[in-house]
Structure 1
Amino acid sequence: SARCPEFKEKEVRQKGIENLRKRGIEGLVVIGGDGSYRGAQRISEECKEIQTIGIPGTIDNDINGTDFTIGFDTALNTIIESVDKIRDTASSHARTFIIEVMGRDCGDLALWSGLAVGAETIILPETETDIKDIAEKIQHGIDRGKKHSIIIVAEGCMTGDMCASELTKYINVDARVSVLGHIQRGGSPTGADRVLASRLGGYAVELLLNGETAKGVGIKDNRLVATNFDEIFNTSERQINQRMLGLTEELSI
């Protein structure tokens, strides 16, 4: 895991394995992302008597083997609530607001929140961005009488300040930046996240009782699935939902 790089060392992993043995732990459920999964896989390889199952937990929704990760819906709703409030002041003061959300390599938070709040433009790390095209779109809205605009930008693509600086080179707008930051990582879980966590947790225990190991649980088409760690690691990167992206363009016209 990125939060415990020492675990990449075999000696450190052996200490962890010994601690599990001392406590009589035969099954380990790891909640996290790619790094946590890799650590769990190493444990299952180096200590056959300890079973490991991974549960996807990250707000970025960037883990293979599942449609949704625990935390994504909660962060999404936090963004929506924040942007709804920002839109009030954007409207009353006739401003263009650029809202930077989390998502270093995966733009799901930006995409889903942008669609939910009716953003005029969404900037994602998975797609090429031409600020001039965005400026023309914003200007077209102004020409039609639009008084304000909302732009959602994923942090992995560019910073909100960078976007504002580039945008104002092409059009004369009062562009303000709001970086939501770590507010996206906190708060009470939504109902959807609570239900998802309960379903995945129950399924993880079921797999352990059935003797399964070195697998990550997930939800696909609302069905519980289990995928080997190797398959999760070797699957190509998740693709952005092009239909949703196209829909945001249609609705923002």
Structure 2
Amino acid sequence: MTKKVTKIGVLCSGGDSPGMNAAIRAVVRTGIYHGLEVYGVMRGYSGMVEDDIVKMESRSVANIIQRGGTILKTARCKEFYTPEGRQIAYNNLKKKGINGLVVLGGDGSFKGAQTFSNEFDIPCIGLPGTIDKDIAGTEFTIGFDTAVNTAVEAIDKIRDTADAHDRLFIIEVMGRDAGYIALHSGIATGAENILIPEKKTDIDRVIKSLQEKEKRKKLVNLIVVAEGEDGGADQLAKTIKEKVPGLETRVCILGHIQRGGSPTCMDRLIASRMGYHAVECLIEGRHNVFVGIVNNRINYIPLNEAVKKKQRISDEWMDIVRILST
């Protein structure tokens, strides 16, 4: 028989993403509405191991929905990788009577939650908080919309100076293992080439494309590249300078600017909706699932599917890139 959840903890793990505060707010207020005690775990799994856990009230999450980052802080915890570390974390939760967890993060955070829940008697519900949008089973992740809009705004500004000087700009966006930010921001800004980790780059095709455009006197070009794609922007610039020496080339790495800032309306809505349903999951007795959205419907996906599978970029998107950039 499923134990009734009475006290729940909420934590953020891994990289931060805009909208995490909105999700925390939703978890806290939904939990309190249902008569649960809600605790905030500071710095992710580190806070569980170090017993840095604070009780939260409705006012604890006032005036945070518009803020980027996370009021609970986030971190990666080496101790939690060990059985001994997880045992300490469990003891700290038990001491406070916490018998349910909501974990905001990506697939690494979900893997930790799944392992912990399998070892002990605490159900874990995941919320996909990652700017990379690389978790299978959901069309949205908390933070992606803000990150990609930040990238679009920056690339639009770079195009202005590229146009003024007839230059090629290679713009590196975040995405060590996933190319969604590069793909979406590149299409939205009219980039001539978009390079992502999921698709092997045909560098000869890129060079040929630039040479043809040079012959047509199309000297303003933008290439958007994900950071994890074969050396990133710097390596690509080096190769292009060797092959097309007459092309004036500049590199711009957007970096962590994409993680920060006030979340968009979309991210606030997604985070609020997911946070609400995470608490409903715990009350209903669900275990080891994360809350996703597919076709605008809430979807509950086993954590192990998020860990094993990656969101796949369809060939249709790559056809769109190829055709619209000619």
Q: Shorter-chain TM-score category?
A: over 0.9
Hey, what's the Cα distance between the residues in 1 that align with 2:213 and 2:224?
A: 16
Residue 303 of structure 2 corresponds to: 229
CA displacement 1:205-235 (0-9 Å, x = unmatched): 1111101111111111221101112233333
Q: 1:19 aligns with which of 89, 92, 103?
A: 92
TM-score norm. by structure 1 comes to 0.95
CA displacement 1:21-71 (0-9 Å, x = unmatched): 2222221100001221122112222222x2210001111111122122111
Given the alignment of the two structures, is residue 162 of structure 1 paired with residue 235 of structure 2, yes or no? Answer: yes
Q: 1:206 aligns with which of 258, 277, 280?
A: 280
SS of residue paired to 1:75: helix
Residue 178 of structure 1 corresponds to: 252
Counterpart amino acid of 2:115?
R
Counterpart amino acid of 1:173?
L
Given the alignment of the two structures, is residue 134 of structure 1 paired with residue 206 of structure 2, yes or no? Answer: yes
Deviation at residue 113 of structure 1 after TM alignment: 0.7
SS of residue paired to 2:242: coil
Hey, what's the Cα distance between the residues in 1 that align with 2:277 and 2:204?
A: 48
Given the alignment of the two structures, is residue 100 of structure 1 paired with residue 176 of structure 2, yes or no? Answer: no
Residues 1-253 of structure 1: pairs in structure 2 closer than 5 A: 3-48=76-121, 50-157=122-229, 158-171=231-244, 172-235=246-309, 237-253=310-326
Deviation at residue 86 of structure 1 after TM alignment: 0.3
Q: Tell me how many residue pairs correspond in the alignment.
A: 251
Deviation at residue 146 of structure 1 after TM alignment: 1.7
Residue 53 of structure 2 corresponds to: none
SS of residue paired to 1:186: coil
TM-score norm. by structure 2 comes to 0.74
CA displacement 1:136-164 (0-9 Å, x = unmatched): 21222232332300000111112211111
5+ unaligned residues in a row in structure 1: which ranges? none
Counterpart amino acid of 1:182?
H
SS of residue paired to 2:317: helix
SS of residue paired to 1:82: helix
Counterpart contact for 1:160–1:177, Cα < 8 Å: yes
5+ unaligned residues in a row in structure 2: which ranges? 1-12, 15-75
Counterpart contact for 2:186–2:224, Cα < 8 Å: yes
| Backbone CA RMSD of aligned residues | 1.4
Counterpart amino acid of 2:296?
N
Counterpart amino acid of 1:242?
D
SS of residue paired to 1:168: helix
CA displacement 1:3-35 (0-9 Å, x = unmatched): 112101111111111221222222110000122
Hey, what's the Cα distance between the residues in 2 that align with 1:245 and 1:133?
A: 14
SS of residue paired to 1:60: coil
